[in-house]
Amino acid sequence: VIPEGPQRPPRGVQRGSILNADGDPSTPGWPSTPGARRVAESDMEGVARIPVVPIGYETAERLLRTLDGPAPPEEWRGALEVGYRPGPGPSAVRMRVRTERGEAAYHPAYNTMAVIEGSVWPDEWVLVGAHRDAWGPGAVDNVSGTASVVEAARAFAAVVERGFRPKRTVVFLTWDAEEWGILGSTEWVEANADRLRRSAVAYLNQDSPVSGDRFGASAAPEIRQLVREATRVVRDPSTGRPLYDVWLDRQREARDAMPVDEPSVGTMGGGSDHLPFYIHLGIPVAGWGFGGQGGVYHSMYDTSEWMERFGDPGYRYHAATARLTAVLLARLANADVLPYDHATLAEAFRTELAGFTAELDRSPISVDSALTARLSEVRRALDAYAGAAHAFGAAVEGRLARGAPAPGAAARINEAQRRALRALLRPGEEAGWSRNLYVRDDPDNGYSPLVLPAARLALRAEDPAGVGGALTTLSEHFEAAAASLEEARAVVDATGR
């Protein structure tokens, strides 16, 4: 532990929020702006009614030693040298708790925004953001992320000063109140939802990207390949080799004999500012960074001294993540045809549907003829969507081989692509806040992704009607997405004449 190593000491406390809501609970579904209508505190969802106070493991051990009661099952026991008895015990504990209620509980939050307007398609936005707030000094979480965004902005500004402007508008953002429940970004997205639906191409998120030297990334399936390709042109600071190669080698080592043809990119779940862009509006997102032997998460030990001794001596990996941020922004901002990989998204749906079907077979739900028919229908619709995705990709590849389309034609192709992605959202207010049909944050674990969320939540509830309804919804939206991609391919074909 500190000061000899990177782990927090026995009395070190991990702070955090236990709010489980979609943004500000006083404005569910609409932006929390000055003068906004707010629900009464008694009607707010996700607000805990029981005070929660974090403690370090030394304090926990002192409390556990005082407890009597029956011996617990072995699987209930942890690593401390105590009996883990459930109590009661002879000791009394005093806590002093200060609460804020009513108007005193409201505090302003401030997001910042800087814009470089695009030269060709100014109404198409590429966005990058990081939260500024922290539970302590925040060297990892999230000075490292904010530094990445600011340095990428500095690089773009330097290029603009030399007379070059990106083709699309680039928006640099820093968020407030992320640690309280992803509030700053969520409320901004809700306030700008109509414009984002029209304009947003992708959102890149930088949250705690540097705490070591081991690279990892997560992204929406349609831009996973873009992330991989960008790592080919950024060097690993320790070896000087392309980051892609180091990343691939480490994954091969971790999997021993299992073949790894390309680095695995994770699925974006919850827990950070990408969530409202992706889960609510379906905008493609990505996040990445360098991890290591952490131990100071959300604590007062997340300091510059810790970073300089243990996390990133010399700040070399800070520079690397900022370079990758700038490369990805530049590729998204300047691509004539947006580099969405619809075929990979379709294959991700196929993989998850197979996994869901296996879970369904093991569940208590009886798979009757009606549910079997729904499964057949969703597979047929997914096959049609995957076929349209591959055909569109081939058409784009052929068109680009003959040269970039004219700006007007490229804009039509790109709008058709984005329309295909929007077809995979549940529309309308009745759909609720989480509308992405591929993934949402898991309501039982806000950090984790829940893929095919409607079907899996119905499976958890052992609700066969809910499972069937979720499969029907998927079928309908796969058909709509396939139709959109066929329209997009027609636009590509028309530009080649």
| Residue corresponding to tokens 């296996």 | 358
Taking CB atoms within 8 Å and a gap of at least 24, the contacts of 158-163 are 160/116
Q: What are phi and psi of 367, to 5 degrees?
A: -85, 90
**Which residue from 179, 208, 242, 206 is spatially nearest to 311, judged by alpha carbons?**
208
226: amino acid identity, one letter: L
Told to judge if 178 belongs to the known catalytic residues of this protein, a careful annotator would answer yes
Name the active-site residue from 124, 178, 179, 222.
178
Burial class, 163, CB count within 10 angstroms (exposed 0-12 / middle 13-18 / buried 19+): exposed
Query: CA-to-CA distance for 478 and 472, rounded, in angstroms?
Result: 10
Query: CA-to-CA distance for 162 and 210, rounded, in angstroms?
Result: 31
Task: Quote the crossing angle between the two packed helices 464-495 and 369-401, to the nearest 10°.
Answer: 20
Do 205 and 129 form a contact (C-beta atoms < 8 A)? yes
Distance of CA 113 to the CA centre of its chain: 20
SS (H, E, C) the chain: CCCCCCCCCCCCCCCCCCCCCCCCCCCCCCCCCCCCCCCCHHHCCCCCCCCCCCCCHHHHHHHHHCCCCCCCCHHHCCCCCCCCCCCCCCCCCCCCCCCCCHHHHCCCCCCEEEEECCCCEEEEEEEEEEECCCCCCCHHHHHHHHHHHHHHHHHHHHHHHCCCCCCEEEEEEEECCCCCCCHHHHHHHHHCHHHHHHHEEEEEECCCCECCCEEEEEECHHHHHHHHHHCCCCECCCCCCEHHHHHHHHHHHHCCCCCCCCCCCECCCCCCCCHHHHHHCCCCEEEEEEECCCCCCCCCCCCHHHHHHHHCHHHHHHHHHHHHHHHHHHHHHHCCCCCCCHHHHHHHHHHHHHHHHHHHHHCCCCCCHHHHHHHHHHHHHHHHHHHHHHHHHHHHHHHHHCCCCCHHHHHHHHHHHHHHHHCCECCCHHHCCCCECCEEEECCEEEEEEECHHHHHHHHCCCHHHHHHHHHHHHHHHHHHHHHHHHHHHHHHHHCC
Residues serving a catalytic function are 178
